[in-house]
Amino acid sequence: MAVEVPGEVRRIAEDIKTMRIRGAGRIARAAARALMIAAQEYNSGGLDEFLAYMEDVARLLVSTRPTAVSLPNAVNYVMRVLRENRFQSLEDARRAVVEAARGFIEYSEQAVKRIGEIGARLIRTGDRILTHCNSSAVESILVTAWRSGKRFHVYATETRPRFQGYITARNLAKAGIPVTLVPDSAVLQVIETKRITRVIVGADTVTANGAVINKIGTSQIALAARLHRVSFIVATETYKFSPYTVVGQPVEIEERPPEEVLENPPPGIRIRNPAFDATPPEYIDMIVTERGIIPPKSAALVLWEMFRRSPAEVHQLRVEEDSTG
Ligand SMILES: O=P(O)(O)OC[C@H]1O[C@H](OP(=O)(O)O)[C@H](O)[C@@H]1O
């Protein structure tokens, strides 16, 4: 019989699903923490049962939201220690999971900080910066630049239907940064009349060809920025680069409940609520990562460096995941 998943782990999975825990980086760290808790709380059998149970937990976590690849990348990073090693005892296996999860969380936190330092160098006093949704990588850049004495103004979109732009506006205001909240539909007008100098957004997934999957509306903003020759910058940790796209697997765009758009739609009206869209590499000037700034066309190189797997190996990995799923 399958071992029961601890309540706290199920709660984390539910919180990711319902977006109480949100943001691609936070989701990844929460998933790593959930695997750590699952390993620590396991007390009902031997090593083989433990391995099967951890695979169950991994599947539960990965199934919560489909788009941000940071989630399966974090889970696979931790699970790889179990999948690729032979352990003599349950305690050794448990310890390896806890260490890997801690390692991932630490790396991720440092990466966001490093992106802040690297990206802050791009900001100039006098900039008028537009951002969309809420990205901790973008916030890290803006807050670091501000603390280093640069003075600028940020325009934050509301980001319907979940209004994550309010989180951004609140956090920036708290840091003392002048911020103006604007409706999503005002983007072109704001870029034009406020003479925006830079757009900076986060990412949920970066594909092998350098396209960026981010909060719905990002691609429209990229188009508007292109129209006015405003540089379009993406800030992201490298674990949001998708190894699956190396073999051409499309990124699934999450479709969220219609009630998020309209609670009680009048009869006869259908509602669609896609949560993300894809911005092609041609519209992206640079991607700021913890490893440095790259042009979007170099995404495949980053993937190769990180995973060091040939396309055939990635394909095999996917097949194995699917068959255990
Ligand atoms: O990792 P950080 O930079 O914090 O966030 C990255 C992205 O995650 C968010 O998705 P959601 O709000 O979880 O749907 C937004 O799309 C944001 O740009």
Q: Determine if the pTM surpasses 0.90.
A: yes
Q: Cis link prior to 72 (omega < 30° from 0)?
A: no
Q: Is the pLDDT of residue 317 over 80?
A: no
Top-confidence residue, 17 or 321: 17
Give 138 Cα–ligand 1 centroid separation in angstroms.
10
ipTM over 0.90: yes
133 catalytic, yes or no? yes
Contacts of residues 95-104 at CB distance under 8 Å and 24 or more positions apart, as own/partner, are 97/35, 97/36, 97/39, 97/54, 98/36, 98/39, 98/40, 100/32, 101/32, 101/33, 101/35, 101/36, 101/39, 102/36, 104/28, 104/29, 104/32, 104/74, 104/77, 104/78
Alpha-carbon 293 to chain mean position: 18
pLDDT band at 318 (very low <50, low <70, confident <90, very high): low
Q: Where are the alpha helices (DSSP H) in 197-290?
A: 218-227
Site of tokens 């509301």: 158
Q: Is the pLDDT of residue 315 over 90?
A: no
Bridge partner list, 288: 235, 293
Show binding-site residues for substrate. 22-25, 65, 214-215, 240
Residue nearest to atom 2 of ligand 1 (CA): 135
Residue nearest to atom 3 of ligand 1 (CA): 135
According to the model, what pLDDT value does residue 306 have?
86
The best mutation among 26, 115, 134 to test binding of ligand 1, ranked by most ligand atoms within 8 Å of the C-beta, falls on 134
Tokens, residue 28: 């990844």
Q: Using a 6 Å cutoff on CB, does residue 204 contact ligand 1? A: yes
**Which of 127, 184, 204, 285 is an active site residue?**
204
Helix H or strand E segment including 130: strand 128-131
Tokens, residue 215: 């909060």
Top-confidence residue, 319 or 187: 187
Measured from the Cα of 25, ligand 1's closest atom is: 1
Between vectors from CA 140 to CA 136 and to CA 142, what angle results, nearest 5°? Answer: 115
